[in-house]
Amino acid sequence: MRPSTSSSTKQRSTVRFRRRAGLRNGGGRRRVWTDSRPPLLPMLRQLVRSGKLADARCLFDATPHRDEVAYATLLAGYAAAADFPSAMELFSRLRASSPPHAAADPFVLSPVFKACASAAAAADAGILRHAAALHAFAVRSSAVSSVFVSTALADAYAKGGRLDLALQVFDEMPCKNVVSWTTLVASLARAGRRHDALRRFAEMRASGVACDSHAYAAALTACADAGLLPRGREVHALCAKLGLDATPYVANTLATLYARFGDVDRALAAVSRMGSRDVAAWTTLIASYVQTGREEEAIEAFVRMLHDESSNSAAPNEYTFSAVIAACANIERVCLGEQLHAQAAQRGLSHSRSVANSLAKLYARCGRLSAAHDVFRGSIVKDVVSWSAIISGYAQEGFAEEAFALFSEMRHHSSCPRPNEFTLASLLSVCASAAAMDAGRQLHVLAVAAGLEHHAMVRSSLIDMYGKSGSMSDADLVFSNRTSDDVISWTAMIVGHAEHGHSKEALELFEEMCRVGLKPDHVTFIGVLTACSHAGEVELGLKYLNAMSKRYGVEPSKEHYGCVVDLLGRAGRIHEAEELIGRIAANERDGVVWTSLLRACAARGAEETGKKAAERVLQAEPWGSGAHVVMANLYASKGQWREAAQERHLMKQKGVVKGAGWSSVEVGGEDRGVGVFVSGDRTNPQDNAIYLMLDLMYYGAGMVRHIPDQLHLGSEVELTVN
DNA sequence: GTAGGGTTAG
């Protein structure tokens, strides 16, 4: 081939690239092409492609004639290896040794920004200063008008947590193509602004840009994270039309979307559309099982994957370990979880953020908060998931103060992760169980500010929090303002009304929920049966219990039977209640249902059945004191003082101690907190003042009505304010 | 010789 031909082809293609890249003065400057180029490039390319960057660098350094193409090739290698320092060093050398236009070449600058983006994604906090300096250079040299350069720059800003700067770069792009649009969509979604991401996706389609599989994958991720199944279905239809639903990226995203909504069949169908199963596909499969409550199958799939590992290239990675450890967490198999912890450590994966996060969840879920805490404190980079995991761990164990302290620490942390729906939901659940509505309201404000108030997870937690704090009107306000429907929000409303004794509202909501096509779950039926119980609607309760499996496909569990046992017992239908207990699977029968029956017997003075129930309670919970107390009361109510005393004696003999009852109250003022009342506690420094106030209160109350003699509370109750 | 996407953890 004659050099002149080769050279002119090169120049034409360069001009074409510049036009496509949107460079303003596209063909304005010329490259100097040597007629007899040394065979540097093919060898360099080969070394870079096989990842031998050190060798590539030796070759590069040993070659006297190096043009921008050689620089760009090596820079691309550094970018792919996420080696920002090397990329920066090489770029600086080019700037120092060549005329300015060499460093301003989009082919050179783009990989430098890409390396920047990878470093930013790896939470390298110092990277933003470099990005800004390079940005300034790109503006001065006009390289920023290349869509390649500006896209990579915007991506670096977005991954470094400066979405504002990224958006600015996007806005100033002279032209956008499918890649820059996709970067924009993905950046917004990653920052938690999923609705904005979807708006931009719509804008992108309207602008006439042809979407590819990358674009659909980004949009589907936004749908899945925003909790928008219908939108996800629409996007699915769009990409299915183009046949893009079988590409691995899209298929995995689709599976995630459906699994997140509990539709394991569609999730599995999506995975099976892929030709071969790589690590990500295996991981998606395992994760789909986990998210749909099929943990055993998840673990089996993981084992199958390990068996395939030797013959296949699909070795589990950090994401896989995350998923399977999460499976162990859900079903509280801490021993298996520990083994996986060791396995991951052996493979050098235990310090990866995702593995650490699921380990924290595992230990927290299995009641080993200190182990969870160690994992959390031991992880070097913490993201919003790490914080949410540990906050949720404390929240689920009822440690409200610790949960809020961690939340405050998170908000003051240097990386300052934005709270998301998981963080808020965990904290709201703590507020709900502590009936701390003030804190709950503040979280509500935070949710609005973060644009998360319409997320199903947040909405249902808000409804639950207001309901449990006693304000059904606030719960109703949140519920009425909903922009989409989900089972959990409806259920929270039903349970809220049921627990407030608004049985009619609860049951009406239930019927309406079924009318709009939502499928009630087992929690919904707890609410329904509680409502029946509070209203004394025995027949209705029995009707719903029978309809559960027949009509709604929800198998009643011991909790449901327990509600109805309680209902029958309160109505005095003790025999039927006893019969119903017989319908609970023997291995599920626990002390709770027998306690319900026992209480009913006590209320009705049904001594014989009561004795039997008490026996069963004691069989199930030999350490418990409830049965003895109730039986003692039963005997006492019938004037059988000797039997009553015998029960008390029995308790003492067995060394059973009734745990101290406690209660809590929100304390306002400067140092807001939750005060805990506990019987027999003398730790409060202000106990004299508290005593005095209590005496005054009892005195006041005594003026109004007679205080029964057996309530010697004045001498027992003290107040502890934490 | 240049830019974007998937799987995970709460």
What pLDDT is recorded for position A641? 87
Residue A314's region, left for phi above 0, alpha for psi from -120 to 50, else beta, is beta
Task: State the average pLDDT over residues A441-457.
Answer: 92
In window 460-489 of A, residues with CB < 7 A from nucleic chain B are none
CA→C1' distance for A198 and B2 (Å):
27
Strand B and A253 CB separated by under 7 Å: yes
A384, closest nucleotide (Cα–C1'): B10
SS3 A717: strand
Q: Which residue is nearest to nucleotide B7 (CA to C1')?
A: A280
A67, closest nucleotide (Cα–C1'): B1
Q: Which residue has the higher pLDDT, A705 or A648?
A: A648
In window 350-389 of A, residues with CB < 7 A from nucleic chain B are 353-354, 357-358, 361, 383-385, 388-389
Query: Is position A675 within any domain?
Result: yes
What's the pLDDT band for A693 if we cut at 50, 70, 90?
A: low
List bases, strand B, within 7 Å of protein CB. Answer: 1-10
CA→C1' distance for A94 and B1 (Å):
15
Q: What residue spans of A625-686 are helical by DSSP H?
A: 626-637, 641-654
Q: Which residue is nearest to nucleotide B5 (CA to C1')?
A: A214
- Provide the token pair at A243: 């046949």
What's the pLDDT band for A33 if we cut at 50, 70, 90?
A: very low
**Which of A270-274, A328-332, A652-656 is predicted with the least confidence, judged by mean pLDDT?**
A652-656
CA→C1' distance for A239 and B5 (Å):
14
Strand B and A124 CB separated by under 7 Å: no
What pLDDT is recorded for position A405? 95
What's the pLDDT band for A240 if we cut at 50, 70, 90?
A: very high
Strand B and A279 CB separated by under 7 Å: yes
Please give the angle made by the CA atoms of A595, A568 and A488, to the nearest 5 degrees.
80
Q: Which residue is nearest to nucleotide B3 (CA to C1')?
A: A148
In window 69-98 of A, residues with CB < 7 A from nucleic chain B are 69, 72-73, 76, 79-80
Query: Is position A240 within any domain?
Result: no
CA→C1' distance for A64 and B1 (Å):
18
What pLDDT is recorded for position A123? 75
What pLDDT is recorded for position A597? 83
- Provide the token pair at A710: 């057996």
Classify residue A35 by its DSSP letter. S
**Mutual angle of helices A248-260 and A229-241, in 10-degree steps:** 160
In window 682-701 of A, residues with CB < 7 A from nucleic chain B are none
CA→C1' distance for A629 and B4 (Å):
67
Instruction: Report how far residue A626's alpha carbon sits from residue A329's, in angstroms, rounded to the nearest whole number.
Output: 31
SS3 A661: coil
**What predicted TM-score, i.e. pTM, was given to this entire model?**
0.78
- Provide the token pair at A654: 């067995």
Residue with the two structure tokens 């704090």:
A469
Task: State the average pLDDT over residues A128-153.
Answer: 96
Query: Is position A699 within any domain?
Result: yes
Please give the angle made by the CA atoms of A448, A188 and A234, to the nearest 5 degrees.
90
A267, closest nucleotide (Cα–C1'): B7
**Which of A135-149, A364-378, A708-722 is predicted with the least confidence, judged by mean pLDDT?**
A708-722
Strand B and A250 CB separated by under 7 Å: yes
Q: What is the mean pLDDT of chain A?
A: 85
Query: Is position A597 within any domain?
Result: no
| Domains held by chain A: number | 1
Task: State the average pLDDT over residues A117-145.
Answer: 92
SS3 A657: coil
Task: State the average pLDDT over residues A488-492.
Answer: 95
A159, closest nucleotide (Cα–C1'): B4
Query: For A401-421, what is each residue's pLDDT tens digit?
Result: 999 999 999 999 887 788 999
Strand B and A150 CB separated by under 7 Å: no
Strand B and A541 CB separated by under 7 Å: no
Q: Which residue is nearest to nucleotide B8 (CA to C1')?
A: A319
What pLDDT is recorded for position A468? 94
Instruction: Report how far residue A620's alpha carbon sits from residue A630's, in angstroms, rounded to the nearest whole number.
Output: 16
What's the pLDDT band for A697 if we cut at 50, 70, 90?
A: low
CA→C1' distance for A56 and B10 (Å):
43
A255, closest nucleotide (Cα–C1'): B7
CA→C1' distance for A336 and B10 (Å):
21
Q: Which residue is nearest to nucleotide B2 (CA to C1')?
A: A107
- Provide the token pair at A20: 């496509």
- Provide the token pair at A352: 């990866």
Task: State the average pLDDT over residues A226-233.
Answer: 93
A279, closest nucleotide (Cα–C1'): B7
Instruction: Report how far residue A710's alpha carbon sits from residue A708's, in angstroms, rounded to the nearest whole number.
Output: 6
Strand B and A221 CB separated by under 7 Å: yes
Integer angstrom CA distances of residue A720 from A394, A400, A704: 21, 16, 27
Strand B and A596 CB separated by under 7 Å: no
Task: State the average pLDDT over residues A613-642.
Answer: 81
CA→C1' distance for A256 and B7 (Å):
8
CA→C1' distance for A527 and B9 (Å):
31
Task: State the average pLDDT over residues A279-308.
Answer: 93
A467 in Cβ contact with A475 (< 8 Å): yes
Instruction: Report how far residue A159's alpha carbon sits from residue A191's, in angstroms, rounded to the nearest whole number.
Output: 9
- Is the confidence at residue A316, as pLDDT, over 90? yes
**Which of A73-77, A119-123, A686-690 is predicted with the least confidence, judged by mean pLDDT?**
A686-690
- Provide the token pair at A363: 């230990």
Q: What residue spans of A347-452 are helical by DSSP H?
A: 353-365, 369-378, 384-396, 400-412, 421-434, 437-449
A178, closest nucleotide (Cα–C1'): B4
- Provide the token pair at A61: 């350094």
Q: Which residue has the higher pLDDT, A437 or A695?
A: A437
CA→C1' distance for A175 and B5 (Å):
20
Instruction: Report how far residue A568's alpha carbon sits from residue A556's, in angstroms, rounded to the nearest whole number.
Output: 16
Q: Which residue is nearest to nucleotide B6 (CA to C1')?
A: A249
What pLDDT is recorded for position A313? 65
Task: State the average pLDDT over residues A448-456.
Answer: 90
CA A107 to chain centre: 39
Residue A674: domain span:
663-721
What's the pLDDT band for A674 if we cut at 50, 70, 90?
A: low
Strand B and A187 CB separated by under 7 Å: no
Task: State the average pLDDT over residues A473-492.
Answer: 94
Strand B and A326 CB separated by under 7 Å: yes
- Is the confidence at residue A623, as pLDDT, over 50? yes
Q: What dihedral angle (degrees, nearest 10) is formed by the CA atoms of A131, A137, A142, A145? A: 0
Query: Is position A488 within any domain?
Result: no
Residue A696's region, left for phi above 0, alpha for psi from -120 to 50, else beta, is alpha
Instruction: Report how far residue A186's alpha carbon sits from residue A193's, in angstroms, rounded to the nearest whole number.
Output: 10
A524 in Cβ contact with A562 (< 8 Å): no
Query: What is the b/e burial string over A424-449, where b = at least 16 CB atoms within 10 angstroms of the residue's CB?
Result: bbbbbbbbbebebbebbbebbebbee
A108, closest nucleotide (Cα–C1'): B2
What pLDDT is recorded for position A24? 39
Strand B and A145 CB separated by under 7 Å: no
- Provide the token pair at A305: 């994957």
CA→C1' distance for A716 and B7 (Å):
58
A182, closest nucleotide (Cα–C1'): B4
Task: State the average pLDDT over residues A182-211.
Answer: 95
Classify residue A273 by its DSSP letter. T
- Is the confidence at residue A275, as pLDDT, over 90? no
Integer angstrom CA distances of residue A521 from A510, A513, A525, A528, A676: 11, 11, 7, 11, 35
Strand B and A287 CB separated by under 7 Å: yes
SS3 A536: coil
Query: Is position A193 within any domain?
Result: no
CA→C1' distance for A678 and B5 (Å):
56
Strand B and A320 CB separated by under 7 Å: yes
SS3 A666: strand
> In this structure, how many other beta carbons lie within 10 angstroms of the beta carbon of residue A241?
9
A248, closest nucleotide (Cα–C1'): B6
**Which of A6-10, A453-457, A615-619 is predicted with the least confidence, judged by mean pLDDT?**
A6-10
Strand B and A213 CB separated by under 7 Å: yes
Percentage of residues of chain A with pLDDT beyond 70: 85
- Is the confidence at residue A39, as pLDDT, over 90? no
**Which of A25-34, A329-338, A570-579 is predicted with the least confidence, judged by mean pLDDT?**
A25-34
Query: Is position A464 within any domain?
Result: no
SS3 A589: coil
What pLDDT is recorded for position A42? 92
What pLDDT is recorded for position A512? 96
- Provide the token pair at A682: 């003398």
